[in-house]
Structure 1
Amino acid sequence: MLPAQPLPVQLANQTPFRYFCNILYNFCMPYMSQPFNLHQINSFLTVAKCGSFTRAAILLNIAQPALSRQVRLLEESLGVELFVRHGRGVVTTAAGQLLQTRATHLLEEVEATASAVSAIAGEVTGQVIFGLIPSVAHSMAGDIVQRFRENFPRVSLVVESAMSGTLQELTEQKKINLAITYEPYQRRNLRCTPLMEERLYFIGPAQCPTASAAEISLQDALQFPMVLPGNNHGLRIMIEKAAAQVRLPVLLDAEINTLALQLDLVRRGLAHTILPLATVLRSVKRGEMTACPIVSPALTRKLVLATPADRPTSVASMRLQQLVEQAVHRQVASGEWPGAQIGR
């Protein structure tokens, strides 16, 4: 049996993360020849990320001498130098790079464990960085954020909106915890849970010749000048591939990565585009735009919920995922997300 060690600090008013750090530290301390603690690890990681003791001290809200002392004690405990100093700041040594990689995973596990322990007591804490593509942010972000804040007031929720490819990169880099995005076209280090499959529509201005049409073939749609996102965007790739299959070019009038500006050009009658109906449903109902389903072939896209494949999912992230799935089911079932069906 491992000997029980009394905790030398008062834990009653500490956050779950600090509570768990102290438990882990006091548990491991008797078996370490040169003990160090997770606060030193966190200080090291912050300096490594900032590349500067000055910037790291500001970020951590502690005095720079105190931060330098924590890192020095960590170096003495490990018997290695972790940083090389230069005129513009610091860079990690080979040992520092190894510690940065492994310590990052360690703190992720600690935070996930602390969150899980807190959840057992009925309290979900922590932070979730949530990414959404603009079309989803426009349609359901408000509902999701409101329900999440009502149910989990002690979780800090940060919302980012960006194009699908950008969200996938940020999630893969662990800068976003989970993101609603389109299914990746290339292999990525992501876990993807299907949400829905939605049909794509030809979107035109109110006076568009297709306004009264029940549907439009892809060949006919490609006769109109288009405003589309850049050629590295998933939707653009899909449209270009579909156009190649029917041996027609895409008449690109403007290449714009901002959804709001794309829609403004369409509304003004300057261009046309291809999007899910839910993205423009309000404008269509107001008579500002027209939407016609594309056929021969029909174009569909899969919406997924992406999380980093090699990072533990916190309880807070899991709770948000549940709310997202409920919101999707609710909107598809009610007809608020037309042209869509629940993904498999």
Structure 2
Amino acid sequence: MSAFNEAGVENLFVVHSLRYFLQVAESAGFSKAAAVLNVPQPTLSRSIRRLEEHFKARLFDRNGRGALLTEAGESLYQHGKAILLRLEQAQAEVAEISNNPAGSAVLALGPVAGKVLSSVVAERFLKEVPNSKLRIVESYTGFVLEWVANGRVDIGLLYEDALTPTLKGERLWIEEPVLVSARTRPLAGVETIPFAELENIPLILPGRPHGLRLRVDEVAAELGMRLNIVLEVDGLSGILDLVRRGVGCSILTPPALYSYKYDGDIVLTKLTDPVISSTVVAVTSKQKPMTNTVKTLLQIVREEARKVRIAGNVEAGGRRRSDNVEVLQPRLIPRSHAG
């Protein structure tokens, strides 16, 4: 066998063993990793031993409770993840170039972002990438963040406040929530209300881990006040119906109201002292390859988010901030004008 072929075989072995190595590291033990990989434990042990010989370094400290990475192992773990991710990306891109119809992407977003983006993004995706598949998942910010972090989804739309230090998001728009109440309630003629006065108002809010609920709870804690939450409802239509009936008030973001068929039954009151603002961002998973299909999906999300910003500001006289991300203003569509 030539030296070139020997090197090629050795490199293939290293790539194969890296997969085993990463699983042992993540399982913190050989027996659990062997079960996950569905390979005999002796085979796994031999593979790791050969990898240690290849790098001339001990990669694990083995004890009766499992196996922990050494300093050298920690270094290889970081490089190994990056190497395998690049290989997966190359494989996916080559498949797409070969017109492989199996190209796919998964988009996760919150209920409000889903309300304004899901259908238009899906429609454009089908037209622009007809041979690829798109899956859209709607859930709360906490779950979207988890799915992006572990690679379950390619792109997640969530509130910037929820991001961890290792994740960075591309800003799409800023939301300033408002108090929504029935016209029959005493707030009908009030334009602004200090946040502290919410203590005496019955509220209908989504449960945790909804991003807006987390933000509202955070502000209440900072002010040392207890909110009067009479109902937790995880659904925009349910919340708005209860508000309209006068059961309680709610705190909602402008996009949640964009398709509400208004006939004078609810009023919006701006929250002050402090003004709450939340930034919606798009985050791509570092655990999955950025294929051409995913890149196209991200561009569609960017463009449709821009349309949302324009609609939310031109029609309501919105303003710009220094970072050039518009603050969406609340607007209500009269029932007679609703489609």
Question: What TM-score does the superposition give when structure 1 sets the normalisation length?
Answer: 0.66
Could you tell me how far 1:55 is from its partner in structure 2?
Answer: 8.8
Please show how residues 1-344 of structure 1 align to structure 2 within 5 Å.
30-33=7-10, 35-36=12-13, 105-117=82-94, 126-185=103-162, 187-205=164-182, 207-211=184-188, 213=189, 215-219=191-195, 222=198, 223-230=200-207, 233-243=210-220, 247=223, 249-254=225-230, 256=232, 258-260=234-236, 261-282=238-259, 284-287=260-263, 290-297=266-273, 298-308=275-285, 313-335=290-312, 343=325
| Count of matched residue positions in the alignment of Structure 1 and Structure 2 | 306
Instruction: Work out whether residues 141 and 162 of structure 2, in 8 Å CA contact, stay in contact via their aligned partners in 1.
Output: no
Distance 1:74 1:244, change over 3 A: closer
Distance 1:127 1:49, change over 3 A: farther
Moved more, 290-299 or 197-206: 290-299
**Alignment deviations for residues 257-308 of structure 1 (CA, whole Å, 9 cap, x no partner):** 62344444334432221111221333x4243852414143433221111123
Distance 1:330 1:262, change over 3 A: same
Partners of 1:337 and 1:289 lie apart in 2 by: 24
Partners of 1:147 and 1:338 lie apart in 2 by: 24
Q: Partner amino acid for 2:225?
A: P
Partners of 1:200 and 1:338 lie apart in 2 by: 17
Partners of 1:333 and 1:33 lie apart in 2 by: 56
The aligned counterpart of 2:56 is none
Distance 1:278 1:221, change over 3 A: farther
**Alignment deviations for residues 137-175 of structure 1 (CA, whole Å, 9 cap, x no partner):** 122201101111221123332222111122112212222
Could you tell me how far 1:133 is from its partner in structure 2?
Answer: 0.5
Instruction: Work out whether residues 332 and 338 of structure 1, in 8 Å CA contact, stay in contact via their aligned partners in 2.
Output: no
Moved more, 100-109 or 156-165: 100-109
Instruction: Work out whether residues 116 and 315 of structure 1, in 8 Å CA contact, stay in contact via their aligned partners in 2.
Output: yes
Note the residue ranges of structure 1 that are not aligned, 5 or more in a row: 6-25, 58-63, 83-90
Instruction: Work out whether residues 134 and 161 of structure 1, in 8 Å CA contact, stay in contact via their aligned partners in 2.
Output: yes
Partners of 2:314 and 2:206 lie apart in 1 by: 22
**Alignment deviations for residues 217-253 of structure 1 (CA, whole Å, 9 cap, x no partner):** 13486132112244655423432444466x5734332
Secondary structure (helix, strand or coil) at the match of 1:324 reads: helix
Percent identity among equivalent residues? 20
Cα RMSD after superposing both structures: 4.6
Instruction: Work out whether residues 172 and 188 of structure 1, in 8 Å CA contact, stay in contact via their aligned partners in 2.
Output: no
